[in-house]
Amino acid sequence: MKSRSELPAQFDHFAVVDVETTGLYDGDRVVEVAAVTLSREGTIVDEWDTLVNPERDVGATAIHGVTASMVSAAPRFEEIATALAGRLQGAVLVTHNLPFDSRMLRNEYDRLGAVMDPGRGVCTLSLSGQRLPDACRCLGIGLEHHHRALTDARAAAQLLCALGSPGGALGPVHVDGLATGACPRTLRRDQVSVAEVEIPYIAGPP
CATH class of 13-191: alpha beta
Contact between 109 and 88 under an 8 Å Cβ cutoff? The reply is: no
Sign of CA dihedral 100, 77, 34, 198: negative
**Residue-wise pLDDT tens digits, 100-145:** 999 999 999 999 999 999 999 999 999 999 999 999 999 999 888 8
Q: Where along the chain do its domains lie?
A: 13-191
| Distances 202 to 18, 96, 194 between C-alpha atoms, Å | 22, 20, 22
Average predicted confidence (pLDDT) for the chain: 89
Task: State how far the Cα of 203 lies from the Cα of 196, in Å rounded to an integer.
Answer: 15
Task: State how far the Cα of 116 lies from the Cα of 21, in Å rounded to an integer.
Answer: 18
What length does the chain have? 206
Residue 204 pLDDT exceeds 50: no
**Residue-wise pLDDT tens digits, 47-83:** 999 999 999 999 999 999 999 999 999 999 999 999 9
Task: State how far the Cα of 131 lies from the Cα of 179, in Å rounded to an integer.
Answer: 37
